[in-house]
Amino acid sequence: MHCLCVYECAADPRTACALTGTYHLHSDMGACPAHPDVVVVWNA
């Protein structure tokens, strides 16, 4: 399955969140089919 998670999101200040450096999803990305239990953060 294709992983949709982000890892380093701090490179762009518009997408930076506290979970940069870990696999996670931003709320506008939907669920990751490969990692259904990964943390989703709200990033408007």
Residue 7: the pLDDT is 92
Residue 31: the pLDDT is 86
Residue 34: the pLDDT is 92
Task: Provide the residue ranges of all domains of the chain, joining segments of one domain with +.
Answer: 1-44
CA 32, 24, 8 angle in degrees (round to 5)?
125
Provide the Cα torsion 16, 19, 23, 27; round to 10°. -60
**Kind and range of the H or E run holding 40:** strand 40-41
Identity of the residue numbered 1: M
Residue 21: the pLDDT is 93
Q: How far apart are alpha carbons 9 and 30 in whole angstroms?
A: 16
Per-residue pLDDT of the chain (44 residues; tens, 9 = 90+): 799 999 999 988 988 999 999 999 988 878 889 988 898 887 64
Q: Which two tokens stand for residue 25?
A: 């999803």
pTM: 0.72
